Structure 1
């Protein structure tokens, strides 16, 4: 079995989750079984995965696994269905807060929240109050309709103990919070009531994760070939996969630059998400990069003994290649598109400045960008965008939109895709853009954009942080229609590098290597041991 390890899945996701979806479709099409493994608790995860075509049989959540809630018949639970142990209740709805206030007379019994975007108003959480109005417990419900997590509060209004239940309401997993020696409030441990009847104690979630992965490796064990564990978010399992009880084929997957400064891949400090994994990379069987350039840089810098594979994280479905090609003259004239998080590292403000300069020659250039706002650093990314718009008086030329799910359709309507990131690991949006005939203009940034765009063929690769050079190329494209069309045609052709056939060949090479791994394993002694405590007691008598 192939296990792809991630943290969680939401309605709005990053490139890693989108890459997993494309990979899932490819593996499904080639009849290769897989599981998307998620470590974090998320009461909405099955709902969100179902909306994008991932079945429960392809999903394995760590908390579900321990709660025996992998396959649950959905139940719709309303506020009136809850039993508070008292009669004569009134329910006051606060629609703007997506909740009900539950009273007995003048006494507040509970606040009941429901899933705000759900027209059926399924219960999502219940906050309980004592006779003095103090919050003492919060119950969280899975979207599928069962109590999943109880948080018990301390007298000073902090979460003391968290308890996860199975679908019958029996506690199976607990974690404890308290002050440490430095008076920092932190988790002090985890306790699991195992399916085997044993009680397990873990210092931290990494030890719990190791136990979980050991159980998976044992449950899906085959004597003739290894299970394959691939870390899509490395920090979630980098230590655990080095300490498995049974052999497995383990893979460190680089979804971003391995270097903190992507422009100095050989000498800069390491990306902190990959530091532990790369320092211990000889303990894994393979390292996957999305581009040939990164594979080469990893090989030169670290000289790992692990096998190195280049596997694009993007896949262009076969049906895209059979779609009607859309000429540049049929698209919005002089239009630029960006689909990305509004985050400091994406530097959308650089693109706006480049367009502002280019508009001095081609005054009708417009930019539309789609993506959710990352509020880090006091909304620094959004503030930089607003400042650039104001500086170049582009209030009517720049249009900002929320996260979009119909990216493919959008790309068919625009001419140029622009990118000015600090670093990348591939950039799915740019790959999708060229597959729909868009012409790319990108900084020469590692990794991905400077391979997806072949300079002078399907767009331009301009110097890193070259705002003026980006502006010059935009002017060149929008004043030379023949060149713009020629590059669009070449984009369609170069997208074939990421066809299902080519990407599957790359994955097949890794799977073939995994199937060759020697997995000789000797189980611990389990027979003839008995209960030594009983034996010792009898003998002493």
Structure 2
């Protein structure tokens, strides 16, 4: 039986959900159970990112690759000389690429990947307006073209290509008073049938059904990990399959109120929910809340998402004496829901009494809103005069070094589902002080043994625990060892027993 883990995209700087999926994929492979990660968004860079997660093409299926026939594809380099540029045009080398001219008129702008292969090509008309852009897959073929309205520059049309330059997917956009929504999708499936669709979710359902058909008569299991984009497409599958919704976040609107409106149609709509075979949450507390709220016959169970590899569980314990004195870390996206301003304010209060402390924040900002939260946080640090001791480190793949040198992790989120950073930190002997929120910290931290839980939003309490912790070296050593011990609960074997109980052998 094949297991598919459904999501939207795999980037170099992915979120905790993707990291949880990758950990689960490795666990399934370790136990000899076939599984793949399936993504629904166009991502021409994904195959370059796979090695970052110790994955190969055999572990990954993207919807656009599936329909293009490029799930596996031998990589090649496409150079400027491979492009169809008229001989009379002049090619001028510029930073990161080339510009192409017909006399004095610029016709093209070509950017290159670091390996010397074509990345994108921009085209310009006689008036100098940007008319279209071509995007190349990192494996060396043109995979998508966007065409723009020269009046205001908005996107009006997209075409997606197979390596032989034939089109299999097209999206049309139309101008509305305040937006430019996609109004139609034309998809040619793997059987050559043409579908006229309204959204990518419908295309994803078609892909999942065709993927399921390729597995033959055996019933495959589909596990949706990205609630807002893969739940409903999975539920709408027409072929026989086992369908599991795996939540990684709160399921209601107001983070402080589990009785507030449910945010996902896949569970708020009883008809959709009834087509689901199982719902998984990362914590028992959320499973209990969801069970009380939904009153459904569909089983709702809890399986932790944090999985600690045996290698890490068996590694030498690093005592506080070998760590950077006073080093506090936070591992979180610089987003509103992470409430890092509370962590910074709490640190400021502790730092006034203990100037040996420092605070490193690892995570990326939200480019979609112009890095609003990141800018606010950096201004707060500046206003507090803490620029020399509070550092924004960005996203890093080398979390092992971060955890092995830290003495404390702080988590101040407004809400979570299952913060992987807590499990990862404890597995490296780093105690955690966290807000008591929906959901995660209370399930993952043994209060007083591997860290502390403080009331949500109480900055003074958070600061007091930080001060108490660093004022007591014996307590630090005790919690250091307690963190290592608590991580044993999340060994691969322990988590696998839960998967066997609720999914594999069910």
Flag the 1:384–1:192 CA change in 2: closer, same or farther, 3 A: closer
- Post-superposition Cα deviations, 1:141-166, rounded to whole Å, max 9, x if no partner, equal 11100111122344534433322111
> TM-score of the superposition, structure 2-length normalised?
0.94
Hey, which bits of structure 1, 4+ residues long, moved more than 6 A?
none
Judging changes above 3 Å, is the alpha-carbon distance between structure 1 residues 482 and 9 closer, same or farther for their aligned structure 2 residues? same
Match of 1:90 in 2: 90
Structure 1's unaligned 5+ residue stretches are 515-541
Give the Cα–Cα distance (whole angstroms) in 2 for the partners of residues 387 and 164 of structure 1.
42
Gaps of 5+ in 2: none
- Find 2:131's aligned residue among 136, 142, 150: 136
Matched residue, 2:116: 121
Q: Superposition pairs for residues 208-287 of structure 1, below 5 Å? A: 208-223=203-218, 226-265=219-258, 267-270=259-262, 272=263, 274-279=264-269, 280-287=272-279
1:101 alignment partner in structure 2: 99
CA distance in 1 between counterparts of 2:12 and 2:274 reads 36
User: Counterpart in 2 of 1:22?
Assistant: 23
Q: Deviations over 1:441-489 (max 9, x none)?
A: 1111121112211211111101111111111111111111111111111
Deviations 1:275-312 (A, max 9, x none): 44343323200101111111111111112211222111
Residue 185 in 1 paired to residue 159 in 2?
Answer: no
CA distance in 2, matches of 1:416, 1:295: 29
Residue 154 of structure 2 contacts residue 180 of structure 2 at CA under 8 Å; is this kept in 1? no
Secondary structure of 1:429's partner? helix
Deviation at 1:372, TM superposition (A): 1.2
Separation of aligned partners in 1, 2:103 and 2:292: 73
**Cα distance change of structure 1 residues 302 and 147 upon mapping to structure 2, 3 Å threshold:** same
* Residue equivalent to 1:510: 502
Instruction: Please give the secondary structure, in 1, of the residue aligned with 2:361.
Output: strand
Deviation of 1:417 after TM superposition, in Å, equals 0.6
Of 374, 380, 402, 1:382 maps to: 374
Show CA shifts across 1:401-445 (max 9, x none). 121111122111111111100001111111110111111111111
Deviation, structure 1 residue 123? 0.7
TM-superposed deviation, 1:235: 2.4
Partner of 2:161: 165
Report the alpha carbon displacement of residue 103 of structure 1 after superposing the two structures with TM.
1.5
Residue 8 of structure 2 contacts residue 230 of structure 2 at CA under 8 Å; is this kept in 1? Answer: no
Q: TM-score, normalised by structure 1?
A: 0.88
Cα separation, partners in 2 of 1:376 and 1:468, compared to 1, 3 Å? farther
Identify the residue that residue 532 of structure 1 maps to in structure 2. Answer: none
Deviation at 1:391, TM superposition (A): 4.5
Cα distance in 1 for partners of 2:190, 2:260 equals: 47
Instruction: Write the deviation string for residues 238-275 of structure 1: whole angstroms up to 9, x where unpaired.
Output: 3323332222111111101112233322x1233x3x34
Q: Distance in 1 between matches of 2:133 and 2:381?
A: 44
Q: 1:110 aligns with which of 84, 108, 126?
A: 108
After superposition, the Cα gap between the structure-2 partners of 1:108 and 1:383, relative to the gap in structure 1 and judged at 3 Å, is closer
Farther off after superposition, 58-67 or 354-363: 354-363
CA distance in 2, matches of 1:437, 1:269: 39
Match of 2:195 among 194, 197, 200: 200
Q: Does the aligned pair in 2 maintain the 1:252–1:277 contact within 8 Å?
A: no
Shift of 1:392: 3.6
User: 3-state DSSP class of the match of 1:237?
Assistant: helix
Contact 2:23–2:307 at 8 Å: present in 1 too? yes
CA contact (8 A) 1:408 1:433 kept: no
1:353 is matched with 345
Q: CA deviation at 1:68?
A: 0.8
Question: Contact 1:238–1:277 at 8 Å: present in 2 too?
Answer: no
Distance 2:421 2:24 in 1: 15
Q: 1:99 to 1:207 in 2, by over 3 A?
A: same
Rate the CA distance shift 1:189–1:490 in 2: closer, same or farther, 3 A: same
Question: Structure 2 CA distance, aligned partners of 1:203 and 1:360?
Answer: 57
Distance 1:138 1:500, change over 3 A: same
Aligned to 1:453: 445
Bigger mean CA offset, 188-197 vs 306-315:
188-197
Q: In 2 relative to 1, CA 198–331 (structure 1 residues): closer, same or farther, beyond 3 Å? A: closer
SS in 2 for 1:185: coil
Higher mean Cα deviation, 359-368 or 449-458?
Answer: 359-368
Q: Does residue 491 of structure 2 align to residue 499 of structure 1?
A: yes
Output one character per residue of 1:20-62: Cα deviation in whole Å (capped at 9) or x when no partner: 1111111111111111111111110111113322111111111
SS state at 1:239 partner: helix
Q: Match of 1:501, SS? A: helix
- Matched with 1:5 is 6
SS of the residue corresponding to residue 461 of structure 1 reads strand
Cα distance in 1 for residues equivalent to 2:482 and 2:330:
20
Q: Is the 8 A contact 1:234 1:277 kept in 2?
A: no
C-alpha displacement of 1:398: 1.2
Residue 91 of structure 1 deviates from its aligned partner by: 2.3
Tell me if the contact between 1:347 and 1:381 (Cα under 8 Å) persists in the aligned partners: no
Q: Is the aligned partner of 1:299 residue 2:297?
A: no
Contact persistence 1:339–1:407 (CA under 8 A): no
Change (3 A) 1:199 1:393: closer
